[in-house]
């Protein structure tokens, strides 16, 4: 039994799904692990109460569990203090908080640097911030093999750059960003470095200090937790200066008609009732992730990625968008079949072989334009995937090509 097969009993869907499931849509949503599902169920059925306000025992217990989850997430990403962890509804919400907060620092003509690799969630919030402050959004180009073209960084990074916001791992090409080089470049112009870690978070513990991020965002549902939760981590000095994005309960210090004062971070950014159950599930997923052997899992994923790349490369009319080697990439592989729409590819591979893929522009339309396509199919790996999943995909895709070409 391989590494991936050994982990499958810890993911309930593989026992409950009525037919064999080759789930390769992990970049969109990972399957929930049993530990996270149990934490969610336990809270909702045996420990449910609102947090932060109640003084009865059940509410006290819920509040304590919620804050313990904050400490767990701080440990997962190597944050210096739990109060630097802001709970959000996901990476999109986290990036919007970051963009809203950093907009306060922008003056007309200032620049925000993103890249052509970015998910729309790391483009649109910055466009909104730029419009509000009369700033400019610029983008680092992408190479033919789907990596940031850092040799052209000097053409887009200037002394007016105030924010550099980039993906840690591309959700289309799987390329891992050279954050050390970008941290140094941001330091040269005094810019804040924001990192979208949504695709990196499922692949083991993170050290935000070591990678040099000032702000880091990710979602629970990609790291084998429940939907509806995420994290924005930020350095204390940065979060302290941020205005709140949302107003309402729990983010205030005092409210009167003469004016309102706000709570200190992280509570300033957690207006209203937070996603308590999903947060507790996220912490349980993080604990599960921290207990794994990531040396073995990284080798397992790299081997499967190599098999996936080789198998796709052997099929007629298939073009891979992204690195075709294993260096500085994770198991996210987008591809297109000549003359066949990605949606047709995904539907037929599912019907013929029980393989779940993603088809579309993957919320990366500028990148699709860069590669002169409208949509691609995408296979993405998780620790529970194994050789059978790769074999099923290649077999199903081969049959799909024979049918449609």
How much of the chain exceeds pLDDT 90, in percent?
96
CA 198 to centroid of chain Cα atoms: 1
Closest to 382 in 3D by CA, of 169, 217, 146, 224: 224
Query: Which strands form 161-167's sheet, in the order they lie side by side?
Result: 85-88, 230-234, 215-219, 192-196, 161-167, 111-115, 136-140
Whether residue 310 sits in one domain with residue 257: no
Residue 394's CB: how many other CB atoms inside 10 A? Answer: 21
Whether residue 324 sits in one domain with residue 400: yes
Whether residue 211 sits in one domain with residue 349: no
Q: What is the pLDDT of residues 195-254, one digit of tens each?
A: 999 999 999 999 999 999 999 999 999 999 999 999 999 999 999 999 999 999 889 999
Task: Assess whether 346 carries a catalytic annotation.
Answer: no
Whether residue 176 sits in one domain with residue 93: yes
Evaluate whether residue 109 is within a structural domain: yes
pLDDT score for 3 = 80
Q: What is the pLDDT of residues 66-106, one digit of tens each?
A: 999 999 999 999 999 999 999 999 999 999 999 999 999 99
Residue 297's CB: how many other CB atoms inside 10 A? Answer: 18
Distance of alpha carbon 220 from alpha carbon 233, whole angstroms = 14
pLDDT score for 18 = 80
Evaluate whether residue 9 is within a structural domain: no
Write out the residue range of the structural domain in which residue 327 sits. 293-404
CATH assignment at residue 396: 3.90.1150.10
Whether residue 46 sits in one domain with residue 189: yes
Residue that is last in its domain, among 271, 290, 309: 290
Strands 259-262 and 318-321: unpaired
Whether residue 298 sits in one domain with residue 286: no
Sign for the CA dihedral angle at 342, 376, 308, 386 comes to: negative
Model-level pTM? Answer: 0.97
Question: Does residue 20 carry a pLDDT above 90?
Answer: no
Whether residue 243 sits in one domain with residue 96: yes
Q: Is residue 1 very low, low, confident or very high in pLDDT (cuts 50, 70, 90)?
A: low
């Amino acid at each position: 039994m391989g590494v991936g097969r050994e982990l499958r009993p810890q993911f309930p869907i593989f026992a409950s799904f009525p037919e064999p499931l080759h789930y390769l849509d992990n970049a969109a949503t990972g399957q929930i692990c049993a530990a996270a599902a149990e934490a969610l169920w336990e809270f909702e059925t045996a420990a449910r109460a609102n947090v932060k306000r109640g003084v009865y025992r059940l509410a006290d217990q819920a509040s304590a569990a919620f804050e313990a989850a904050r400490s767990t997430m701080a440990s997962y990403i190597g944050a210096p203090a739990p109060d630097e962890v802001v709970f959000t509804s996901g990476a999109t919400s986290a990036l919007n908080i970051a963009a809203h907060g950093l907009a306060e620092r922008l003056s007309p003509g200032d620049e925000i640097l993103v890249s052509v690799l970015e998910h729309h969630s790391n483009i649109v919030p910055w466009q909104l911030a730029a419009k509000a402050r009369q700033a400019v959004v610029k983008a680092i180009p992408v190479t033919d093999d789907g990596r940031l073209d850092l040799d052209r960084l000097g053409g887009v990074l200037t002394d007016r750059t105030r924010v550099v916001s980039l993906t840690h791992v591309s959700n289309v090409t799987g390329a891992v960003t050279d954050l050390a080089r970008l941290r140094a470049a941001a330091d040269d112009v005094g810019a804040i470095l924001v990192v979208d870690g949504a695709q990196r978070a499922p692949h083991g513990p993170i050290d935000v200090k070591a990678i040099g991020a000032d702000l880091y965002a990710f979602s629970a549902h990609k790291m084998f937790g429940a939907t509806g939760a995420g994290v924005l981590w930020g350095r204390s000095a940065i979060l302290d200066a941020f205005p709140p994005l949302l107003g309402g309960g729990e983010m205030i210090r005092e409210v009167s008609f003469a004016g309102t004062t706000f709570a200190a971070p992280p509570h300033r950014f957690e207006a209203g009732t937070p996603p308590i159950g999903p947060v507790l599930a996220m912490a349980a997923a993080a604990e599960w992730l921290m207990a794994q052997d990531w040396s073995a899992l990284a080798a397992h994923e790299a081997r499967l990625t190599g098999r996936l790349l080789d198998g796709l490369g052997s099929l007629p009319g298939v073009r891979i968008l992204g690195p075709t080697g294993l260096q500085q990439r994770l198991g996210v592989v987008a591809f297109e079949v000549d003359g066949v729409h990605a949606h047709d590819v995904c539907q037929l591979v599912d019907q013929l072989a029980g393989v779940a893929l993603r088809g579309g522009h993957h919320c990366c339309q500028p990148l699709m334009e860069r590669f002169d396509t409208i949509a691609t199919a995408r296979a993405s790996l998780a620790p529970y995937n194994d050789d059978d999943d790769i074999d099923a995909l290649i077999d199903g895709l081969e049959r799909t090509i024979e049918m449609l070409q």
